Amino acid sequence: MKRETIVVAMSGGVDSSAAAALLKEQGHDVIGITLQIWQESKNETKGAGCCSLGAVEDARRVASRLDIPFYVLNYRDPFQEKVIDPFIDAYKRGRTPNPCINCNRYIKFDALLNKALALGAEKLATGHYARVFYDESIGRYALAKACNSDKDQTYALYATTQQELAHMIMPLGEVASKEETRAIARRYNLLTANKPESQEICFVQDRNYTEFLAEVAPEIVAPGAIVDSSGKVRGSHEGVAFFTVGQRKRIGVTSPTPLYVLQVNAADNTVVVGSDAELFSPGCHVEDLTWVSMDRPPVGLEVACQVKVRYNMNAVPARFSRNADETVNVIFDDPVRAVTPGQAAVFYGSSPNEDLVLGGGTINRPLS
């Protein structure tokens, strides 16, 4: 393997620590960089998120142990503009965003990659579980699922462009298990080897997202009606931002049968509830598209695929076709539950290429 200068985005967790160790082991010139993107509270919890102050110090200690240069860059303003502000705006519009996608898209694989190249590095590496390679058969860089399918993170990486993939490396894409990742860290006696994973949105550490939204955007607290699918008023709510499609708990409506959130309508400040059966949709309309392991398809061409409409689901068989306005209509082979505006729809190849990420976009609305 050619020796290269590689910047590693170090989050202070075991994954990015192991990635840095592997690249150093392979003989590359490794530089560790941590982005300070959010000011944590003084009551930061154990195992806090990837942008906590404690995580920065953990990354610094790992870099010292590996004997690699280490820098901390202040990216708070770009993070506010590209991640936090759109997160708040999406909830105001009745959507349920995935902030990790925007963080990857605009912060790690845009701003940080540009910084890495400006420093003279050939590549930017991350601790993501995914594979990147140049596919001669299609003449494009491809993004594919990790060998460790349980940890695969391609859903949150679909917005990566060809130019970015050309400079990306993800060493953990070939690692078979999380335990193997931890074993790599133990081999180098890294303090992050047994560090627990954070499952929280980093900038709402120690609080739930409803409390965060009410604090940073108090105008979101706007009482309105809860109605059923026939339009009958069933109760009231404190703000549409506090609800998401598929939600059952904390609806606040008494019913002899379980009720679920079917729609969140910011335009008229209503939340629509109904039965579980009403949550299933035959397809979805998708916007803000990125094409990854395939060229942009011709308008109207129907493409067979597997699709995920949320992170923690198995991909399901579907077909999609591009519209003239650069949106896509997705039709599932079988109806899918809780298709949620604001989440991503990510397209994977059909057999035998189910591991390839074809592209993806943001769900605008479910189809009926």
Q: Is residue 283 part of a domain?
A: yes
| Mean pLDDT score, 136-155 | 95
Q: Is 67 left (phi over 0), alpha (psi -120 to 50) or beta?
A: left
Is the domain of 189 the same as that of 128?
yes
Q: Burial, 233: exposed, middle or buried (Cβ in 10 Å; 0-12, 13-18, 19+)?
A: exposed
Is the domain of 55 the same as that of 84?
yes
Predicted local confidence at residue 198, as pLDDT? 73
Q: Is residue 215 part of a domain?
A: no
In the predicted structure, residue 48 carries a pLDDT above the cut 90: no
Torsions phi, psi for 52 (to 5 deg) = -75, 160
Domain that holds residue 262: 222-274
Is the domain of 103 the same as that of 169?
yes
Which one has a higher pLDDT value, 44 or 329?
329
E runs forming strands in 197-299 = 224-228, 233-237, 260-265, 270-274, 280-291
pTM for the model: 0.94
pLDDT one-digit tens code per residue, 69-114: 999 999 999 999 999 999 999 999 999 999 999 999 999 999 999 9
Say which residues have a Cβ less than 8 Å from residue 108's Cβ, sequence separation at least 6: 9, 35, 124, 126
Predicted local confidence at residue 209, as pLDDT? 87
Amino acid at 326: E
Last residue of a domain, one of 145, 174, 204: 204
Is the domain of 130 the same as that of 117?
yes
Choose the weakest-confidence range: 169-183, 187-201, 262-276, 296-310: 187-201
Name the band, by pLDDT with cuts 50, 70 and 90, for residue 52: low
Token representation of residue 138: 């299609």
In the predicted structure, residue 327 carries a pLDDT above the cut 90: yes
pLDDT one-digit tens code per residue, 236-248: 999 999 999 999 9
Token representation of residue 153: 């993170």
d(CA 69, CA 90): 38
Q: Is residue 214 part of a domain?
A: no
Choose the weakest-confidence range: 187-191, 203-207, 240-244: 203-207
Is the domain of 177 the same as that of 326?
no
Is the domain of 92 the same as that of 61?
yes
pLDDT one-digit tens code per residue, 16-35: 999 999 999 999 999 999 99
d(CA 72, CA 58): 12
Name the band, by pLDDT with cuts 50, 70 and 90, for residue 203: confident
End-to-end alpha carbon distance in the chain: 52
The total number of structural domains that make up the chain? 3
Q: Is residue 152 part of a domain?
A: yes
Predicted local confidence at residue 49, as pLDDT? 54
In the predicted structure, residue 157 carries a pLDDT above the cut 60: yes
Name the band, by pLDDT with cuts 50, 70 and 90, for residue 46: very low
Is the domain of 82 the same as that of 197?
yes
Report DSSP letters for 294-355, one per residue.
SPPPPBT--EEEEEESSTTS--EEEEEEE-TTS-EEEEEEEEEE---TTSEEEEEPPTT-TT
What average pLDDT does the structure give for the chain? 93
Is the domain of 197 the same as that of 228?
no
Is the domain of 87 the same as that of 185?
yes
Is the domain of 240 the same as that of 192?
no
Q: Is residue 168 part of a domain?
A: yes
In the predicted structure, residue 51 carries a pLDDT above the cut 70: no
CATH number where 268 lies: 2.30.30
Q: Is residue 217 part of a domain?
A: no
Is the domain of 91 the same as that of 131?
yes
d(CA 79, CA 61): 24
CATH number where 338 lies: 2.40.30.10
| Mean pLDDT score, 189-213 | 84
Q: Is residue 209 part of a domain?
A: no
Q: Show which residues are catalytic.
A: 103, 202
Query: Tokens 């280490």 sit at which residue?
Result: 70
CATH number where 58 lies: 3.40.50.620
Helix (H, G, I), strand (E, B) or coil at 283: strand
Last residue of a domain, one of 231, 246, 274: 274
Q: Is residue 210 part of a domain?
A: no
Last residue of a domain, one of 238, 257, 274: 274
d(CA 292, CA 95): 25
d(CA 342, CA 339): 9
Which one has a higher pLDDT value, 44 or 8?
8
Is the domain of 245 the same as that of 197?
no
Tally of CA atoms within 13 A in the half-sphere of 340 that contains its CB:
22
Name the band, by pLDDT with cuts 50, 70 and 90, for residue 273: very high
